[in-house]
Amino acid sequence: MTRLKNSLRDLIKVLIVFTVCTCVFYMALRMVHEEYERQHRYDPPGGTAIKVYQPLEQPWTDRLSIFFRLGE
């Protein structure tokens, strides 16, 4: 009987430690996420930046063949 009590007590201790560690890890992930959410990733560039991408007008068949060839 005492062996069962000790095993049950150890199991409860492990579950409590696991739950606490999981909660701490979750809160740390939330803090990191909030920190990255505050950064403005898509601000317009400053200075003398210029736009370098100009899409070419291609027939849809050419675009489809590129899609199948490259798998993109």
For the chain, the domains span 1-34
* pLDDT of 10 above 90: yes
| Closest CA relative to residue 55, chosen from 45, 68, 66 | 66
pTM of the model: 0.52
| Closest CA relative to residue 27, chosen from 17, 39, 15, 19 | 19
Helix, strand or coil for residue 54? coil
Tens-place pLDDT, residues 16-63: 999 999 999 999 999 999 988 888 777 777 788 777 777 677 788 888
